[in-house]
Amino acid sequence: MSSRVRISLALLTGAVLGIGVTLTHGVLAEKQQPGEPLPLKDLRAFVEILERVKSDYVEPVSDDKLLENAVRGMLAGLDPHSSYLDKDEFKDMNTTTTGKFGGLGIEVQMKDGLVFVVSPIDDTPAAKAGIQSGDFIVKINEDTVRGLSLKEAVDKMRGDPGSKISLTVLRQSADKPLTFDMKRDTINVASAKGKLLEPGYGYIRVSQFTATTGKLMLDELKKIRKDGELRGLVLDLRNNPGGVLNAAVDVSDAFIEKGQVVSIKGRDADSNRIFNATAGDELAGRPIVVLVNGGSASAAEIVAGALQDTRRAVIVGSKTFGKGSVQTILPLANDSAIKITTARYYTPSGRSIQAEGIEPDITFQPVKISKADGDPFEGIREKEDDLKGRLDNPNSAKDEAKKAEAKASADKIAADEQTLAETDYQLYEALNLLKGLTIARGY
């Protein structure tokens, strides 16, 4: 092996593992550090393997490629979320956290040798095509995924906006593989969107957590308040794959008056942190219902856990993904970086949801409903108002125009509710629960 490779190996081992090493006459020597000594026997075996690959592999492989593969394997063997990011991947990572990037709009990780869909992102090619959280991607165009690394699979899914791609997926609820044809696009994600479900009842959808999500959410709240103060809010975190920790703290803090939002704890006590809420609640204590499902992960679970533990909101839906770890991006000198798990996070009550997820307070199963044929007794069943000789209501409004306007408004709300029930039954139930909470609490 060349001396350049030996020196690169020494520097690489020190940088990635955080273990100080020195080079003395071409031989690696230990530098005194607390904890376990450097396993020189295993390191010599690694160098021997490197030499064997260079000399005996069927085709020549560059030193840079071998070392990069070694680092990728080292990090991938730690957990599903630690990885090496080359120059292009690091650039993509920085772009993604700002909310603008290219591709299909899909959060994936490697699982059982296949590409596992954590979540599609709203209004992206993947979401529009019908890709769902929990799908396994088995083919990209005509190429089988098994045997590829996550980077190789992601590279195959990337491409110029407008170019076509076909994904074949396995879905637990389907009895055969499903094929989805779509076009790649530039993904501009508005990570928070708001609207009124009904007068007084707001809805905020947070699709992921980027650096600007907290501000965007507050802007959306301001917009939907233009028509009057909110009586309550539905916060939708379904299929939210997570993102920036500080953004999750910002969103939680917007509704928590005081106390802890989240804490992170790692091996190094100096890196432990507690994030506390600042004074002020955007809704002044009014009820919040948070929608989650199996695609709600990481930062989305931080928000759900904080609002659940502080009893600030009712969590509804289905059990969340269960990613309770924190990753840190550590830039390297060659414009690449490593993404490494450095801590676990804990909800205000001190619980870790790692590999457990958050159990909702009320479980809503995803179902589809269709409009009934109607009441068969409509027009036949009598009411008090239809009875001959009935007493008049002394409080009855004399202004028929006002009565007609009130009836028209009630009819429109009923029609909108029916449409919502047909298109998103979980949201329909969340709205009903929110109404009950606002009435019970006097808002």
Per residue in 106-128, pLDDT (tens digit) is: 888 888 888 999 888 888 999 99
Residue the block writes with tokens 């379904």: 238
Around Cβ 313, how many Cβ atoms within 10 Å? 24
Question: So which residues are the catalytic ones?
Answer: 298, 309, 323
Per residue in 165-221, pLDDT (tens digit) is: 999 999 998 999 999 999 999 877 789 999 999 999 999 999 999 999 999 999 999
* DSSP H or E run through 439: helix 425-440
Q: What does the domain layout of the chain look like in residue ranges? A: 3-77, 100-188, 192-363, 384-440
Length of the chain: 443
DSSP state of 222: H
412, exposed or middle or buried, with CB in 10 Å at 0-12, 13-18, 19+? exposed
C-alpha 253/C-alpha 47 separation (Å) is: 50
Q: Higher-confidence residue: 268 or 395?
A: 268
Q: Higher-confidence residue: 251 or 420?
A: 251
The encoded tokens of residue 394 equal: 């002394």
The domain made up of 100-188 is a member of CATH 2.30.42.10: yes
DSSP state of 399: -
C-alpha 115/C-alpha 437 separation (Å) is: 41
- Residue-wise over 153-182: b if at least 16 C-beta within 10 A, else e? bbebbeeeeeeebebbbebeeeeeebebeb
Beta strand pairing call for 232-236 and 288-292: parallel
| CATH superfamily, region 192-363 | 2-enoyl-CoA Hydratase; Chain A, domain 1 (3.90.226.10)
**Global pTM?**
0.78
Q: What pLDDT score does 383 carry?
A: 81
Average pLDDT, the chain: 85
Q: What pLDDT score does 117 carry?
A: 93
Around Cβ 28, how many Cβ atoms within 10 Å? 19
Give me the DSSP letters along 150-212: HHHHHHHH---TT-EEEEEEE-TT-SS-EEEEEE-EEEE---EEEEEEETTEEEEEE--B-TT
